[in-house]
Amino acid sequence: MAYLGNPGRTIAVLEKYNFNFRKNFGQNFLIDDHILTKIVDAAGITDEDCVLEIGPGIGTMTQYLCERARKVIAVEIDNSLIPILNDTLSEYDNVTIINKDILKVDIAALAEEYNEGRPIKVVANLPYYITTPIVMGLFESLVPLESITVMVQKEVAERMQTGPGSKDYGALSLSVAFYSKAEVIAVVSPNCFIPKPKVESSVIRMTLHKQKPVEVKDETFLFAIIRASFQQRRKTLINGLSNAGLPGVTKEDVRNALIQMGKPETVRGETFTLEEFATLANLLYRE
């Protein structure tokens, strides 16, 4: 039975193993049963699911996942946590613990090995410092995913689901919109963690699209256009893209594409929707 979702039991485990938090891994462990249950509920975990948990820590949420899922794969970078996980998860026979950096793990191979290549669900309390690389890596690796339900810094969750014109709008917002439908499930107080982070957190669920919302000739080129458009977000699109070193993209090419789209030469990337970026990328793409 899951027993780590409260401060007393978490502290007891940490003291038993004389565990020291490592700032470089952004470790903040959840100690609120209500939030843990809410995350697992939001992820829609059933006894048919294979779940990838990133950064299980001492196994708090892992216990909740193991009681719902058919299989849980817990990937933890900190080797000092492995003996603790072996202890706290010892009663569960449906969990595999992997001591690796998630950015270096072949997730497609895990899906093949543990779920016969079918889509898996990702659940995680992500370290704030590496949230974007992990989420982008999951999207861009094209591994079979059904959903990604994660705890992230509230500010990052806002960037993930904001639209054009907002100061938070950027490449991350567009990537999330391209690959998934995002919904914030809960805002979480710093008091729900040990140690307490300095900012609020949010639980966000990203359900992967079965069909992409826009059609593009080349996804890699689309995101090259998007990233270049926000690298110097106060520049016009014409200047930003023509100075980005994109192969075969000249200032004249961008100007002509904007004319075809009925856009002024002074337009900036921060005003473009995903659909407009897709149109621009298709106009600029060369085989």
Mean pLDDT calculated for residue range 183-203: 95
At 99-155, the pLDDT tens digits run 999 999 999 999 999 999 999 999 999 888 889 999 999 998 888 999 999 999 999
Mean pLDDT calculated for residue range 155-169: 91
Residue 129 is predicted with a pLDDT of 83
Mean pLDDT calculated for residue range 204-217: 96
* pLDDT at residue 31 is higher than 80: yes
* pLDDT at residue 287 is higher than 80: no
* pLDDT at residue 244 is higher than 90: no
Angle, in degrees to the nearest 10, between helices 171-179 and 274-284: 90
Q: What are the domain boundaries of the chain?
A: 7-208, 219-284
* pLDDT at residue 59 is higher than 90: yes
Which band of pLDDT confidence, cut at 50, 70 and 90, is reported for residue 61?
Answer: very high
pTM of this structure:
0.92
Architecture of domain 219-284: Orthogonal Bundle (1.10)
Residue 243 is predicted with a pLDDT of 85
Residue 21 is predicted with a pLDDT of 87
Residue 286 is predicted with a pLDDT of 86
Which band of pLDDT confidence, cut at 50, 70 and 90, is reported for residue 34?
Answer: very high
Question: The domain 7-208 is classified under which CATH number: 3.40.50.150, 1.10.3720.10, 1.10.10.10, 3.40.50.300?
Answer: 3.40.50.150
Which is higher by pLDDT, 243 or 134?
134
